[in-house]
C-alpha cells in the first residue's frame, strides 16, 4: 500500500536547512521514495498551528518510509535537521492504492 510522508517545519537556520534538504533528498530515493511537493506557507485557512514550510514524499509502502527514516544515512542527518528546524514528520498510508 502506497505511503506518504508529510514533513512540516519551522526553520531556525536557513543555511543549515538548505544543507539538510540537499543531503536528505538522496536518502529518500535510496528507499524508493520520491519528493512530490515542497513549499512555503501561503495562508493558514483553519487550525491554530502552522509550519513555515512543508514537504510531501511518496514511498512504495509504510515499511519503506520507516526503513528510510531509521536508516543510518538519515539518522546521521538528524543532528543537522534539529539545528536547522523544528520538524514534524508523519507517515500516512493510502488506502486507495
Q: For 33-47, what is the mean pLDDT?
A: 93
Spatial distance between the Cα atoms of 30 and 64, rounded to a whole number of angstroms? 10
Mean pLDDT for all residues in the chain: 95
Spatial distance between the Cα atoms of 26 and 29, rounded to a whole number of angstroms? 5
Please give the grid coordinates belonging to residue 55: 514537504
3-class DSSP assignment, residue 50: coil
Q: Within 10 A of 84 (CB to CB), how many other CB atoms are there?
A: 21
Interval 57-66: pLDDT, tens? 999 999 999 9
Domains of the chain: 3-38+52-93 (3.30.70.100)
Interval 4-33: pLDDT, tens? 999 999 999 999 999 999 999 999 999 999
Sort residue 38 into left (φ over 0), alpha (ψ -120 to 50) or beta.
Answer: beta
Q: For 68-96, what is the mean pLDDT?
A: 96
Amino acid at each position: 500500500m502506497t505511503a506518504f510522508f508529510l514533513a512540516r517545519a519551522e526553520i531556525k537556520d536557513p543555511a543549515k536547512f538548505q544543507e539538510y534538504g540537499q543531503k536528505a533528498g538522496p536518502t529518500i530515493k535510496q528507499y524508493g521514495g520520491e519528493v512530490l511537493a515542497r513549499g512555503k506557507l501561503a495562508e493558514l485557512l483553519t487550525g491554530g498551528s502552522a509550519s513555515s514550510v512543508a514537504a510531501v514524499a511518496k514511498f512504495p509502502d509504510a515499511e519503506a518510509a520507516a526503513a528510510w527514516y531509521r536508516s543510518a544515512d538519515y539518522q546521521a542527518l538528524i543532528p543537522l535537521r534539529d539545528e536547522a528546524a523544528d520538524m514534524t514528520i508523519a507517515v500516512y498510508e493510502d488506502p486507495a492504492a
